[in-house]
Amino acid sequence: MPTDGGATMPTPDVSLRDGATAHRVLHLHERVLGKNEQQAALNRKLFHKKGFRVINVLSAPGSGKTALLERTLTDLRGELRGAVIVGDLATDNDAKRLQRSGAPIVQITTGTVCHLESAMIARACEQLDLDAIDLLFIENVGNLVCPASFDLGEGLRVVLASVTEGEDKPLKYPTLFKTADIVLLTKIELADVAGFERATAHRNVREIATRAEILEVSARTGQGLEAWYHLLRGMVHAHA
């Protein structure tokens, strides 16, 4: 009989071992991240009720999450009401940069925690006027491993990889790239200088993040941002 790899042998509910000590088997079948997933579902319900869209923004440290969001919020000011919850291990440097856009910003400092969790987002939301938002960005802690498994209640996941990180980033961090709805190849103005092979990068993203949309952008020169904004507008209007 073929095994499914996950089947367990049936275990008796009570077995006797070590002489008189009765060992009982308890069947659990619980997700370790069950609590996070329950809170994420509550977050999602709240976001839906309030009528705004939520994007979880993920990347390695230094790929340009903050630069992209600062520029996005600034360029779309007056058109879309954006807000950001930003997570870092320490400092509120990113929040200060983002505040220059005029949008409401909440900084979460996680201390030693390498990712954001849904309960942190719920608490951060208490500091925002949720009736005055069209689009909430969650700038996750810069990390391409840990945030992958933590649902925050977002509607969309955007993963950034800058051209200076090389073309094979998705192959090196497949578990996170596989969760992406959109992959942004950032700092694209440096592609030639960095010897970045676009075709190889696109192929690598496609092989790992099969269903993701791929955009090349530069927060510095503005290259490719119109396509990104088009996507954001589409999300907000589809929701309205």
Among 124, 117, 119, CA closest to 151: 117
Q: What is the contact mask toward another protein in residues 141 to 180, using x (rule: CB under 8 A)?
A: ----xx-xx---------------------x--xxx-x--
**Least spacing, CB of residue 99 vs another protein, in Å:** 29
12 binds another protein (CB under 8 A): no
6 binds another protein (CB under 8 A): yes
Based on its alpha-carbon atoms, the radius of gyration of the chain, rounded to whole angstroms, reads 21
211 binds another protein (CB under 8 A): yes
8 binds another protein (CB under 8 A): yes
Q: Which of residues 93-132 bind another protein (CB under 8 A)?
A: 113-115
**Least spacing, CB of residue 51 vs another protein, in Å:** 28
CB atoms within 10 A of CB 146: 15
Q: What is the contact mask toward another protein in residues 14 to 33, using x (rule: CB under 8 A)?
A: -------xxxxxxxxxxxxx
What residues does 88 pair with on adjacent strands? 109
53-58 and 14-16 beta bridge pairing: unpaired
Helix axes 34-50, 118-125, angle to 10 degrees: 30
Burial of 194 (0-12, 13-18, 19+ CB in 10 A): middle
Contacts with another protein by CB under 8 A lie at 5-6, 8, 11, 21-35, 113-115, 145-146, 148-149, 171, 174-176, 178, 206-208, 210-211
